[in-house]
Amino acid sequence: MEKSALQIARAAYQPKLPKALRGALKVVEGAPTQSVADQEEVKKLFPNTYGMPAIKFEPTDGQMDTAAINIGVILSGGQAPGGHNVISGLFDGIKKLNPANKLYGFILGPGGLVDHNYKELTADIIDEYRNTGGFDIIGSGRTKLEKKEQFDKGLEIIKKLDIKAIVIIGGDDSSTNACVLAEYYKSIGAGVQVIGCPKTIDGDLKNSEIETSFGFDTATKTYSEVIGNIMRDCNSARKYWHFVKLMGRSASHVTLECALQTHPNITLIGEEVEQKNLSLDDVVTQIAEIVKARSEAGNNFGVALIPEGIIEFIPAIKKLIAELNDVLALPEAQNLGRSEQIDFVKNHLCADNLAVFNSLPTSVARQLALDRDPHGNVQVSLIETEKLLSTMVSAKLDQWKKEGKFNGKFSA
């Protein structure tokens, strides 16, 4: 394949490396680590891996000669810019230690480990993917690692390939996979390290060592460019309100960063909604008030940014989802048809949650009640929150118009 000038320039780019990774290095053990909260509870869950020492890499003189080792790598969850470079850096690092070292990629996520679906990643393969986005070098998946049979099945291929460490690149659920796998392998003395590399464009994996996970910066810049174009179009046509839903199931960091870059008319922040204990009607009323104020100034247009997980931040709906999770986990609910499951749910919800459930549009109620991802989460990305809010705002403004409180136009 003939490469374009852009592809050639992209492949030649050399990412910056910290000083400790530019030459020979030594490993320095620090103090024991601990969770930021619930220390005793977490320690009980992970007795074998809790409290392991912090590790630092420091530059040293001389060469690093190590025995040959094999490493496995897994991409997990949604793709994020930078994933290919994590794998490229891993490949470069182990080859620098010993040219005989090998890197194996497990295909389509954690399921590749369980199903023994893998390929060796060679220099020819790696060089085709350097500095490119996506996760297509080995693909990704969302298989949840939670059963002993899965761990043991994975260990079979790990032993067969003589792998000494598995690197799982993923977000919060994927990091939980890595943690559970590490605990089990440590408990049986499997002799394999499990290393988690934090990846999430949501920006919700951070601590004192990780300022932000990779993917967040590129994602927010890309989204902001699109939002900026929508705002320019909005200001040109001057007759539509645009409701823009952004990534972020359990954190509104992406929405906030995009708002700081683009300055829209309305920005909903899930954490703020939760802190203020707002109801769905409170949120709709706030939006309607801003629409009304802009209309009175002659501006029947605007842009609203909405994090996809906003619905889970509304306390009443959060309580509803928690009870739905419990109800749907009952053995009697497992083999019911979709319509029967809805009836079952309604018969088992408490009065307050049932009232909230019945107040929601049918499509949203069904989504909350039925569909879960492999990790048991409501698939909020499939809920058309932007349509839910724009429809409810429209209804609120129609009501105000009948009451003489609103004389403008609203088209979403």
Q: Is 244 helix (H, G, I), strand (E, B) or coil?
A: strand
- State the Cα–Cα distance between residues 291 and 307, nearest whole angstrom: 19
Task: Determine the residue type at 325.
Answer: N
Read off the tokens for 81: 């810019």
State the burial class of residue 62 (Cβ atoms within 10 Å of its Cβ: 0-12, 13-18, 19+).
exposed
Question: Which strand ranges, in their side-by-side order, compose the sheet holding 302-307?
Answer: 241-246, 302-307, 266-267
Q: What are phi and psi of 161, to 5 degrees?
A: -90, 0
State yes or no: is 152 an active-site residue. no
- Please write down the long-range contacts of 373-376, taking CB distance under 8 Å and 24 or more positions apart: 373/142, 374/142, 374/143, 374/144, 375/142, 375/144, 375/173, 375/176, 376/325
- State the Cα–Cα distance between residues 175 and 172, nearest whole angstrom: 5
Which residues are 72's β-sheet partners? 104, 166
- State the Cα–Cα distance between residues 203 and 254, nearest whole angstrom: 7
Residue 127: which H helix or E strand, with range? helix 123-129
Q: Is 278 helix (H, G, I), strand (E, B) or coil?
A: coil
Q: What are phi and psi of 164, to 5 degrees?
A: -100, -20
Give every CB contact of residue 163 below 8 A, 6+ residues apart in sequence: 70, 71, 72, 104, 157, 192
Read off the tokens for 387: 């349509």
- State the Cα–Cα distance between residues 70 and 161, nearest whole angstrom: 7
The sign of the dihedral angle between the CA atoms of 86, 195, 216, 210 is: negative
Spot the catalytic one: 202, 326, 373, 398.
Answer: 202
Read off the tokens for 27: 């490993």
- In the DSSP assignment, the letter for residue 141 is B
Give the CA radius of gyration of the chain: 25
Would you name the residues annotated as active-site residues? 202
